[in-house]
Amino acid sequence: MKKVLFYASSALAIALMLSSCGASRKAVAAVEGEQEVNLVFNEAKYHSDKSYFRDSQSGISKDLSTAKKVAMQNTRQSISAMVQAQIGLLVENYTQNDQVAEDTSFGNDLEELGRTVVDSQLSGLEIVAEKAFKLPDGSYRYHVCMQLSKDVLEDALSSAVEKDAKLKLKVNKDRFRAIYEEVIKK
């Protein structure tokens, strides 16, 4: 009798849970005055791909040139952060896959070299697109999309390794290039 009661109550509990899980979701009602915003440079051609690191940012100021400077600086910082993260992965993968894993100074040296190369390459960012808007209060909003070529970055990294006598001896160029292709150009 206890088993029958146990199974019956279990079946009832499961039935209640399943029926509550199947409730249809109601669409979120728009808040009064809420409007959808069209994002500038949100199409796929303005996003990073296998060939370029890309990002877009904006800046607002009473002066158009200041709004432009703010947007460009924000974009440089964003692309720099993207590239630095990828360089970190590149160094980590290279040191793990090669015999240099136990040499921590090598990884640090390679990462520092990567930071230096990235900083030098940021001055060569290309503007993909830009738009400026005059706002009702008289200020300006400037949007910019910029890009950094992954091929140019690869060449700069390879060249920097070649110029560093200590790293040149330890880096297997073919293996480094293969890992670069795997990590950066995905």
Angle between helices 173-183 and 64-97 (to 10 degrees): 130
> Is it the case that residue 135 has pLDDT exceeding 90?
yes
What pTM, to 2 d.p., does this model score?
0.75
- State how far the alpha carbon of 113 is from the alpha carbons of 107, 156, 159, in Å: 10, 10, 11
Confidence band of 113 (pLDDT split at 50, 70, 90): confident
pLDDT in tens, 21-57: 554 555 565 678 788 888 899 999 999 999 999 999 9
pLDDT digits (tens, 9 = 90+) for 147-184: 999 999 999 998 888 888 778 777 888 888 888 888 88
How high is the pLDDT of residue 32? Answer: 80
